[in-house]
């Protein structure tokens, strides 16, 4: 195969033997953050995991150590998903290694934050397109024939509330218009894929607000925000806090195992950010 594969002979983990079930999940971008914590949660449940990484090399050793401790069979694949010709090989490698595919966690994006990148250049625009939308599409396309063979397949697309709010209010520092447009496109893909996959492949979407590792406190952009913008982002959120990875992982697990009648749906996991801009005034007394 053409995709560069990292093989670990002892990836059964130190606890000795699998606590495995039959299902296999492919988790994109699993070297850190949302992808990593989602993959670990799946592995701790006994679901075998195929994991991708490309950059953040300094986080790779920690990734290996953490997945080795789950006690579940796993494999790590190094692949640049922006090179679409490598995606077919990736999926074939996963099938060759595990024999099946039941869950796709479509977690890849590039959140072009105006506070970091300023105005788009043509190169930045094309990179945004390739990462946030194009890679998701081709991973699903090549995975779909194998997902259809599963008795209960699940696809979860990650997107952002940028697709709703765009460059508005305090989010003007957070979301570029290109990123916003592409995230609106993800919702269209979710609906289309749900139709294609029915009834055996459920496809849903988690639309993220301001999260710890995505536009939030543990990102480079957060440190560049003026204090007023940070406060405004939280004030604009009904639950008055930044989202945490644990919030995301719980939602992922709900969609996989506790939402058998849900497909083509979008869960807006934003703490009420989208609603937070409109205040409710006291009820008037009326005239009667």
Task: Residue 72: give its domain's CATH number.
Answer: 3.40.50.720
Cβ-proximal residues to 48 (8 Å cutoff; 6+ apart), any chain: 18, 20, 21, 23, 24, 25, 72, 73, 74, 98
Whether residue 213 lies inside any domain: the answer is yes
Is residue 148 domain-resident? yes
Asked if residue 123 belongs to a domain, the reply is: yes
Secondary structure of the chain: what % helix, strand, coil (to 5)?
Answer: 45, 15, 40
Buried b (16+ CB within 10 A) or exposed e, 184-216: ebbbebbbebbeebeeebbbbbbbbbbbbbbbb
Asked whether residue 131 carries a pLDDT value surpassing 90, the answer given is: no
Domain boundaries, position 20 = 5-269
Angle of helix 135-147 relative to helix 177-197, nearest 10 degrees, comes to 10
Q: Is residue 285 assigned to a domain?
A: no
Mean pLDDT score, 60-69: 92
Q: Find out whether the peptide bond into 199 is cis, omega within 30 degrees of 0.
A: yes
pLDDT of residue 137: 95
| Residue 282 included in any domain | no
Q: How confident is the model at residue 20 (pLDDT cuts 50, 70, 90)?
A: low
pLDDT of 238 above 60: yes
Task: Please indicate, yes or no, if residue 9 is contained in any of the structural domains.
Answer: yes
pLDDT tens per residue across span 176-206: 888 899 999 999 999 999 999 999 999 999 9
Nearest-angstrom CA–CA distance, 79 and 101: 18
User: How many separate domains does the chain show?
Assistant: 1
Q: Per the domain annotation, does 284 fall within a domain?
A: no
Q: Is residue 156 assigned to a domain?
A: yes
By the 10 Å C-beta count (0-12 exposed, 13-18 middle, 19+ buried), 282 is classed as exposed
pLDDT at 15 over 50: no
User: Cβ of 178: how many Cβ atoms within 10 Å?
Assistant: 20
Confidence bin at 122 (pLDDT 50/70/90): confident
Confidence band (pLDDT; 50, 70, 90) for 258?
very high
């Amino acid at each position: 195969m053409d995709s560069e594969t990292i093989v670990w002979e002892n990836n059964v983990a130190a606890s000795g033997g699998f606590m495995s079930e039959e299902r296999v999940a492919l988790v994109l971008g699993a070297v850190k953050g949302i992808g990593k914590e989602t993959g670990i949660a799946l592995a701790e449940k006994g679901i075998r995991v195929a994991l991708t990484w490309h950059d953040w090399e300094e986080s790779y050793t920690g990734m290996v150590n953490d997945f080795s401790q789950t006690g579940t069979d796993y494999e790590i694949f190094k692949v640049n998903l922006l090179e679409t010709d490598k995606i077919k090989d990736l999926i074939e490698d996963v099938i060759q290694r595990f024999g099946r595919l039941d869950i796709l966690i479509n977690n890849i994006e590039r959140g072009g934050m105006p506070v970091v990148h300023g105005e788009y250049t043509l190169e930045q625009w094309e990179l945004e397109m390739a990462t946030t939308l194009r890679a998701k599409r081709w991973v699903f396309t090549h995975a779909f024939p194998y997902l259809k063979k599963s008795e209960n397949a699940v696809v979860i697309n990650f997107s952002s509330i940028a697709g709703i709010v765009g460059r508005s209010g305090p989010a003007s520092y957070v979301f570029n218009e290109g990123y916003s447009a592409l995230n609106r496109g993800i919702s269209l893909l979710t609906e289309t894929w749900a139709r294609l996959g029915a009834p055996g492949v459920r496809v849903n979407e988690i639309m993220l607000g301001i999260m710890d590792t995505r536009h939030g406190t543990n990102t480079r952009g957060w440190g560049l925000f003026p204090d007023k913008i940070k406060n405004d982002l939280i004030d604009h959120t009904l639950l008055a806090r930044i989202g945490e990875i644990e919030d995301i992982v719980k939602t992922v697990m709900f969609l996989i195992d506790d939402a058998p009648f849900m497909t083509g749906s979008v869960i807006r996991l934003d703490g009420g950010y989208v609603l937070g801009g409109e205040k409710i005034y006291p009820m008037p007394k009326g005239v009667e």
